[in-house]
Structure 1
Amino acid sequence: MNKTDNIFATAQEEVKDFVFDDNVAEVFPDMIKRSVPGYQTMISTIGHLAHEYAQDNSQIYDLGCSLGAATLSIRRKLTAKNCTIIAVDNSQAMVNRCQQHLNNYKSEIKTQVLCDDIMNIDIQDASIVVLNFTLQFISPSQRDTLIKNIYQGMKPGGILIISEKLVFEQANIQSVIDELHLDFKRAQGYSELEISQKRASIENVLIPDTLEQHYKRFEQAGFNKMSQWYQCFNFSSLIAIK
């Protein structure tokens, strides 16, 4: 049974930078559900995209897999033959629980779960690559290199799926969308204290890009077919096809 996220429910003398430790892993499903509008729609659609774009004899990468929601969605919908899913996260706490979740749902599809920095992963023969709310936690100086490495390791016709929190260039638009997101979290039962402390904890850890920055990065890597397919408030999902 998923536990309720109350990590920031009591006042903290010092709000430390957010880390994906055991405490976060334990409440992560509740945290995501109450913080990211449309998350289940994005997860479900990742499965549908995998069904459409996965190629026989290819590899599928879930980079920053957390508890394995995207990997599970892909496994449920995958029909391509002789595929291997490689799920990677740099948090041992997340990887441990991801493996437990995958073990609970039997599948004949070969799946590897690795605890590693995704910058160390050699992408090869990939028909699907997923970065589901992962790139925003990677150092901005490394993001171009990561997307280029992914492009180079993809098969022609392969698809990159990226879900991210966006930032907006126009201050008034940013303000409106920020308030909509705050109202969403309030409606999910988060207190003003929780919202404030979570924001302080994550502001130096999660550094979002604009939609235009994502498109430019795709183009520089070599992609020429790309689109935003989903957005709710400041949360978006994009696709780029090689």
Structure 2
Amino acid sequence: MSEDQFFKDEIKKAADFKFGAGVAHVFDDMVNRSVPYYGEMQRMIAELASNHAKEGGQVYDLGCSTGTTLIGMNTMVSNNVKFVGIDDSEEMLKKCRSKLEEVGFTREYELVCADIGNKVEIVNADVVVLCLTLQFVRPMYRAQLLQRIYKGLNHGGALILVEKILAEDSHFNRDFISYYYNYKRRNNYSELEISQKREALENVLIPYKLSENTGILQDTGFAHCEVFFKWYNFAGIIAVKK
């Protein structure tokens, strides 16, 4: 795993964060050092997916990045379930293919390079995962994406959503963000790295409150929604289609 030094040197002209070749190269280290309890979160996603994936159905990972979630689910989900990974970064998918080959991935799977915000088709799905992905979809397209997911899910199918969130009461936002940056400092990110990544993400990662996320899921038609993970400004939700 290559060490994340993407923001180590001072950047003269700030640019929006992109999941290009440079990020793909260090992404696994980046996400492990930047997302609290990422390993446990992945284990929980796999466990939840195993309860809903049925033989002959499909499991989608939207924004599959380097394939960590696919690999995790592979250990718990029946082999007679097809996996579909979708990402809009060919560099991420290249890394994903390499990792799947390294672990000897043998189940039927498909990797698709596409923008999930633009009419990606979901069919015969028992599980759809959005792990730290919906937050990068422009707000005006989120409801449409969730409606496509809902339509493509089989009855009893589950959407597993993990997001960075805002506090319900804005009074706590400053504190939670401070605790999060302390987490990054404990993982050896410098003040320059923290500030430059924050600036790069400012216009591309747009979080909602937990209640806003559950509200949009319920408005989409999901009959059952439950929080399965929460750490300050990160949360995981499972929503099941009746």
Tell me which interval the TM-score lies in, with the shorter structure as reference length.
over 0.9
- Residues in 2 aligned to 1:226 and 1:169: alpha-carbon distance in whole angstroms: 17
Structure 2: which amino acid aligns with 1:115? Answer: C
Counterpart CA distance in 1 for 2:216 and 2:63 is 19
Instruction: Write out per-residue CA displacement over residues 184-231 of structure 1, whole angstroms, 9 at most, x where no aligned residue.
Output: 001111111111111001010100011111111111111020011101
Residue 148 of structure 1: how far off its partner (Å): 0.9
Q: How does 1:61-140 map to 2 (within 5 A)?
A: 61-79=60-78, 82-118=80-116, 119-140=118-139
In the TM superposition, residue 3 of structure 1 has moved relative to its aligned partner by 1.2
Alpha-carbon deviation of 1:169? 3.9
* Contact 2:64–2:85, Cα closer than 8 Å, also in 1: yes
1:216 and 1:204 map into 2 onto residues whose CA distance is 23
| 1:1-242 equivalence runs, <5 A | 2-79=1-78, 82-118=80-116, 119-242=118-241
**Alignment partner of 1:164: what SS?**
strand
Residue aligned with 1:178, SS: helix
Q: In the aligned structure 1, how far is the partner of 2:128 from the partner of 2:119?
A: 15
Distance in 1, matches of 2:170 and 2:137, equals 24
- Specify every segment of 5 or more residues in structure 2 that has no aligned partner in the other structure, as ranges: none
Give the distance between the partners of 2:174 and 2:142, measured in 1 at CA: 26
Q: Partners of 1:90 and 1:107 in 2: how far apart? A: 22
Displacement of 1:4: 1.1
> Within 1, Cα distance between the matches of 2:234 and 2:142?
18
C-alpha distance 169-232 of structure 1, shift in aligned 2 (>3 A): closer
User: What stretches of structure 1 move > 3 A for 4+ residues in a row?
Assistant: none
Deviation of 1:82 (Å): 3.0
The alignment partner of 1:215 has SS state of helix
Length-normalised TM-score, structure 2: 0.96
* Higher deviation after alignment, 136-145 or 3-12: 3-12
**Mapped contact 2:130–2:160 kept (Cα < 8 A):** yes
Q: Alpha-carbon deviation of 1:168?
A: 1.9
Alpha-carbon distance in structure 1 between the residues aligned to 2:35 and 2:59: 24
- The 2-side partners of 1:186 and 1:82 are apart by 43
SS across alignment from 1:120? coil
SS at 1:166 equivalent: strand
**Aligned Cα RMSD in Å?**
1.1
- Give the drift of 1:106: 2.0
Identity across matched positions, percent: 36
